[in-house]
Amino acid sequence: MDTKTRKRSLRKELNSAINALSHDEVQRQSSILKQEVLNHPKYLQAKSVSIYLSFDKEIQTGEILEDIFRSGKICFIPRFRAGSSEMEMIKLCSLDDYANLPVNKWNIKQPLDDEERVSVFDTGSLDLVLTPGLGFTKDGKRLGRGKGYYDGFLAKCSRELKKRPFTLGLAFKEQIVPDIPTTDTDIHIDEVLYADG
């Protein structure tokens, strides 16, 4: 079976496992990981953090987002442009800024395409990327949702930033698998945090 087919069947399997999680279980595991992130040395040292804005069946990042602003870090969030396979990381100014963002077709908050925002690449540095995914191995292989947004963004970070940011994957324990088929364009994550790990 080729890599593409293996990835497709693994995505199906993982989607079923994640969709079966109850609201309470999502909250329980998210709460454990929130503490792990907030106490993580890479988070504590980071001056700038890129964070994904979670939807229902992902590790919830709302309280981490609040802490980023509370602790005076610079915050970046993803912006997906319609019809493009590129994802930008753009600056979020405050929790009020977050509250006022419109939602995109995936029901995730993000600034409008034509709104001028500072990007990570305008600033030249990023310390930490909190990375979502559909599946992970304990040693950092990652399976995304198939669009290559994060792989493309992290590859660009390696090329364009002075120092590559540290990547921290956030996962439910149900998202940890023994192996993930990868290709040359799949980027390994530095460390994966998962509940009950």
The string of pLDDT tens digits covering residues 15-45 is 999 999 999 999 999 999 999 999 999 999 9
* Alpha-carbon separation of residue 50 from 3, 23, 35, 56, 126 (angstroms): 29, 25, 17, 19, 8
- Give the DSSP letter of residue 111: -
CA 20 and chain centroid, separation: 21
Write out the E strands in 93-190. 128-131, 135-136, 142-143, 166-171
Interval 44-89: pLDDT, tens: 999 999 999 998 899 999 999 999 999 999 999 999 877 777 899 9
Q: Please report, as a single letter, which amino acid is at residue 188.
A: H
